[in-house]
Amino acid sequence: MARRPGILSKERLIHMYQRFSRAAVVAGLCVLAVTVIGCGHRFGWGVAHSTSATASKPTTPPVTQVHFQVGQQATIGDTWVVTVNSVAASPGNATDKPKAGTTFVVIDVSLRNISSQPQQVSSLLEFRLADSTGALYTEMVTSFGAPPNGTVNSAGATRGRLVFETPVTQHDFVFSFEPQLANAVKALWDVTV
DSSP letter assigned to residue 100: T
Helix (H, G, I), strand (E, B) or coil at 38: helix
23 domain-assigned: yes
Same domain? For 13 and 76 the reply is no
Same domain? For 52 and 35 the reply is no
Same domain? For 81 and 122 the reply is yes
Residue 128: give the domain boundaries: 48-56+63-192
Amino acid letter, 175: F
Same domain? For 52 and 27 the reply is no
3 domain-assigned: no
Nearest to 177 by CA among 88, 102, 107: 107
In the chain, the number of structural domains is 2
145 domain-assigned: yes
Same domain? For 99 and 161 the reply is yes
Same domain? For 37 and 52 the reply is no
Same domain? For 117 and 27 the reply is no
Q: What is the pLDDT of residue 64?
A: 57
1 domain-assigned: no
- Give the range among 26-35, 50-59, 155-164 with minimum mean pLDDT: 50-59
Helix (H, G, I), strand (E, B) or coil at 166: strand
Q: What is the pLDDT of residue 40?
A: 45
Q: Tell me the pLDDT tens digit for each residue of 37-77.
A: 444 433 444 444 443 333 444 443 344 567 999 999 999 98
22 domain-assigned: yes
Helix (H, G, I), strand (E, B) or coil at 29: helix
